Amino acid sequence: MLVKSIVTLAVAATVLSSFMAQADERYRPVDDKVVIEECGACHMAFQPQMLPKKSWIKIMDGLSNHFGEDASLDEKAVSHIKKYHVEHAADSGWKDGKFMRGLSDSSAPLRITETPYWVREHRKEVPDWAWNDPTVKSKANCIACHKRGNQGDYDDD
């Protein structure tokens, strides 16, 4: 019994430390089929860690007018996707809630690209003209610049 629990502990420690090493530089890739399919249809499926719970709830409750598009889904899909985003949101207790920096408890931005953290990370690094480059077109087009954005890796420029 004792031997078995020591082995279990050792495995748990290894898993935990590799997860923590990853959390340093990566956002957990979206691993839910429904989310990938429904929220990755028009743009990449953004990682839930990039907005607070309140934002995701607002987004999921307003899909019929989603940035000028109708992205409506049936009730079952909405509640499934909402739950996934809330569980993994920037303020869900996820270790590295960088995207909460500078946000008050009550704020619920609808865009990742309007969060203080995102704005700060890009203000220094991306010249104004680069946003209008024909291969980029929109700030929300993350994978134009972050080729491994889908895997949660934004450290590659």
CA distance 123 to 128: 8
List the structure tokens of 59: 């987004």
Please identify, using beta-carbon distances, which residue of 13 and 69 lies nearer to ligand HEC: 69
Min dist CB 127 to ligand HEC, Å, is 9
Q: Is 108 in the site for ligand HEC (CB under 6 A)?
A: no
Check residue 69 and report its DSSP letter.
Answer: B
DSSP letters of 95-107?
S--GGGTT--TT-
Q: Is 43 in the site for ligand HEC (CB under 6 A)?
A: yes
Please check whether residue 84 is in contact with residue 38, taking contact to mean a CB–CB distance below 8 angstroms.
Answer: no
Q: What H or E segment, with its residue span, contains residue 79? A: helix 75-87
Q: Is 130 in the site for ligand HEC (CB under 6 A)?
A: yes
**Contact region for ligand HEC (CB under 6 A) — 3-11, 15-23, 100-108, 109-117?**
109-117
Min dist CB 144 to ligand HEC, Å, is 5
- Please list every residue from 60 through 89 that binds ligand HEC, using CB under 6 A: 63, 66-67, 69, 71, 81
